Amino acid sequence: MIDLSIEKRLKAYRGQQILKISHQFTTGSITKIYGPSGAGKTTLLKTIAGLVYPEKGKIVVDSQTWLDTDNNINLPPQKRMPGFVFQDYALFPNMSVLAHLQYATNDMEWIKRLLLLGKLDTLTDHKPIHLSGGQQQRLAVLRALAIKPKLILMDEPFSALDPDMKTELIAELKLLFKELAATVLIVSHNPQELEGLTDGDLYIP
């Protein structure tokens, strides 16, 4: 169970806006997060990951406190270790596909499985610049899964994939999420694409 309540000031186009969310995510659930641009969806994911610090808030994950601004508790991202898929992929330009996964884990069996899942097994020595947009996005997803995270935070993870690839990948991921017993939060602009995958949603106005 993830128990979350945060307040964070956002820089908005016109003046200031406050992101205020209280929500509970059941362990093992897959939640779709949607809402208008600039509402704070990415900020919410980064706050949970420990990459952004809110003015006020408390995050408790499976009875471990990750953040409590009142008591000055703030676990660094290295201790939270979420599987994070960035909207801009955040791939390392100096690393090949294989090097990305090896940077995250030493488990070669797991790496091989992920490469097959993301259909990148024939491109292991390619650097991001030599991958297509869809391949880059898949690599970003695989890298996040490489650490076998218990919490997976995905920011528009399927936006660059063609419909067939998307359907296939989502079906595979659904099984993998179950296997990892991971709690998953997915930000999406396209509510239809996640049909059948998510079991709850959170609207951020």
Partner 1 sequence: MDLSPIWLTLKLAAITTSLLFIVGLPIAWWLSKGRSFFKTIVEAIITMPLVLPPSVLGFYLLLAFSPQHGLGKLLQDTFDTQFVFSFKGLVLASFIYSMPFMTGPIKSALQQLPVSLTQASYALGKTQWQTFKSVLVPNIKPSLLTAIVLTFAHTLGEFGVVLMIGGNIPGVTRVASIAVYDSVERMDYAAANTYSLILFSITFVMVISVFVFNKYQAKSPLE
Nearer to partner 1, 102 or 124 (CB): 102
> Residues in the site for partner 1, rule: CB under 8 A?
46, 49-51, 76-78, 80-84, 86, 88, 90, 92-94, 103-104, 143-144, 146-147
Place of tokens 């499976």: 62
Contact 85, 138 (CB under 8 A): no
CB neighbourhood size of 104 (10 A):
19
SS (H, E, C) 135-147: HHHHHHHHHHHHC
Contact 41, 193 (CB under 8 A): no
Nearer to partner 1, 168 or 180 (CB): 180
117, 115, 47, 127: which is closest to 91 by C-alpha? 127
Give the nearest distance from C-beta 104 to partner 1 in angstroms.
5
Burial of 110 (0-12, 13-18, 19+ CB in 10 A): middle
Q: What distance, in Å, lies between the first and last C-alpha atoms of the chain?
A: 24
Contact 158, 193 (CB under 8 A): yes
Nearer to partner 1, 95 or 176 (CB): 95
Nearer to partner 1, 32 or 100 (CB): 100
Nearer to partner 1, 102 or 167 (CB): 102
Helices (H), the chain: 41-49, 77-80, 97-104, 108-117, 133-146, 163-180
CA distances to 42, 63, 86, 193 from 20, rounded to whole Å, are 13, 22, 22, 26
Nearer to partner 1, 88 or 195 (CB): 88
Give the nearest distance from C-beta 42 to partner 1 in angstroms.
10
